[in-house]
Structure 1
Amino acid sequence: MQNKPPYPITSVDHALHLAILLQQEGPLRVSDAAERIGVAPSTAHRLLAMLVYRGFAEQRPDRSYQAGDVLRPAAPSAAPVALLRQVAAPHMRDLVDRVTESVNLVVLAGTEARFVASAECAQVLRVGSRVGRTLPAHLCSGGKAILAALRPADVAALYADSADVNVPRLQRELSLVRKRGFAINDQRTEAGLTALGVVVRDSARAPVAALAIAMPSVRFHRDRVPAWVSALSTTLSAIEHDVGG
């Protein structure tokens, strides 16, 4: 049994308590959450909003809250996440400065793409941090970039038990990604968000992650894709050099 810390941080304790309730008991309304942890509804609303921001919760159409991606079981990733995060961070920041859009680092975990690092741009309308969140790999740009670097047989095996994915269609899409050298997610995972992703390889040329530029769709223009891909490629080379070293 764990003893209560001598100097507890009440707001953190409340947020963690809410996360546990969402995970173990299911959806909660703001009023229910407030009653369960003994705070005012306005405080519960702010806590839930923070949990949503960090991926621990998500709001349902009926305005109640349920457990988010971070609290759901996920397959482990074989990628060296700590090393990738450390090596990529300064290069991601430089890329943000060049393209003035947010940048994400993604690894593959089963059939999901897991966001392990984010660098936000300074624009008022921007894509926020996605760290800790997961998305279906076959839909997001980073996930598709990694999948395209795998052998088609490995992709087929990965989705052998998935009834929701049309594998032949996915294989055709991944073939196009390989031909182009980058993947696009045009509002397939979130309305109003577009992203471009490229695969990151280790010294043995095995795919270990993906680097993606994410932007509001209103700023996406196809005539700017070559410039974005060129900036991604420059950053990619720097990250792969440091990972190999």
Structure 2
Amino acid sequence: MKNPPNYFVRSVDHALQLAVMLQVEGPFGVGEAAQRLGVAPSTAHRLLAMLVYRDFAIRREDHQYAAGPVLSLGGSSQSRTALLRSVAMPQLAGLVERVQESANLQILSGDHVRFIGSVECSQALRVGNREGMVFPAHLASGGKVMLADLPPERLDALYSEAKWADRLDERPNLAALRRELRNVRERGFAINAGKTESGVTAIGRAVRGADGRAHAAVSVSMPSSRFSRERLPDLVSALTLTAHDIEEEMRGADAPRIRS
């Protein structure tokens, strides 16, 4: 279960958010960094300068910042994730308008999920921005719907005793996990009731690629006090519409351009 530390250091949190943005989205400038963090450009510039100093970022000739040696990913992976996020963010905003709860976009990274997009709702009591955060996949709603789509041998490899040798106390019961994922496949959505953060309930649904496989997940998160089984059909319906819209836009972005 992940809760904010007692001594929350805002500048460190901002620097880590920038590092994640650089890694999964690609280059950006000081202005965009400031806007995303909600800070002054001078503050964003100082944060980026520190990331450059520690090799988490590089400053290019066009004054854009890009992932440095510590963060560098394969170009295709980076651009694909950036495209997914750019397509999904307006759809997440629309989802928030429909359900009046915070919404997130997640991708699978080994046995964890990474939040690559987040839109907060406007309610006074709400789940905050989770962008850049990482949670165990078998506990998060988005992680469950993506794990449920994996071939059995891949799931076995992710949760083998050898892979979890240094954290066996955290390793899920594989038989129980398979049963839960079978239910997720049948229902088409997953629920996380306080498993990753106390007092928070989330519902997740897969975003599928042209190959029919789950490439990402969308979820809505809310205070558990505001969740009820009566709300579930409407929440799942809204998630389904959002996932389909993202899938359609991604297919359009992938379609070969016809030259005139």
Please, what TM-score do these two structures have when normalized by structure 1?
Answer: 0.70
Q: CA deviation at 1:52?
A: 4.7
Structure 1 runs of 4+ aligned residues shifted over 2 Å read 49-56, 76-80
Query: Which residue among 12, 27, 30 is the counterpart of 1:51?
Result: 12
Structure 1 unaligned runs (5+)? 1-28, 31-44, 57-70
Residues of 1 paired with 2:85 and 2:131: CA distance?
A: 11
**Length, aligned pairs only:** 185
Closer/same/farther in 2, CA of residues 207 and 214 from structure 1, 3 Å limit: same
Deviations 1:72-99 (A, max 9, x none): x99x796831011011011111110000
Indicate yes or no: 2:147 matched with 1:186.
no
Residues of 2 paired with 1:244 and 1:148: CA distance?
A: 22
For residue 153 of structure 2, give the secondary structure of its aligned residue in structure 1.
helix
Q: Equivalences for 1:218-237 in 2 at 5 Å?
A: 218-237=225-244
Paired residue type of 2:176: R
Residue 116 of structure 2 is matched in structure 1 by 116
For residue 239 of structure 1, give the secondary structure of its aligned residue in structure 2.
helix
Q: Equivalences for 1:74-223 in 2 at 5 Å?
A: 80-160=80-160, 161-162=163-164, 163=168, 164-223=171-230
Closer/same/farther in 2, CA of residues 101 and 167 from structure 1, 3 Å limit: same
Query: Which residue among 240, 243, 246 is the counterpart of 1:239?
Result: 246
Closer/same/farther in 2, CA of residues 91 and 52 from structure 1, 3 Å limit: same
Q: CA deviation at 1:55?
A: 6.2
- Percent identity between matched residues is 45
Q: CA deviation at 1:152?
A: 2.1
Q: CA deviation at 1:217?
A: 0.5
Q: CA deviation at 1:153?
A: 2.1
For residue 223 of structure 1, give the secondary structure of its aligned residue in structure 2.
coil
Deviations 1:118-164 (A, max 9, x none): 01100011111111110000000000010011122211111112232
Q: CA deviation at 1:204?
A: 1.3
For residue 228 of structure 1, give the secondary structure of its aligned residue in structure 2.
helix
Paired residue type of 1:230: S
Please, what TM-score do these two structures have when normalized by structure 2?
Answer: 0.66
Q: CA deviation at 1:49?
A: 3.7
Structure 2 unaligned runs (5+)? 1-5, 18-55, 57-69, 253-260
Residues of 2 paired with 1:52 and 1:220: CA distance?
A: 29
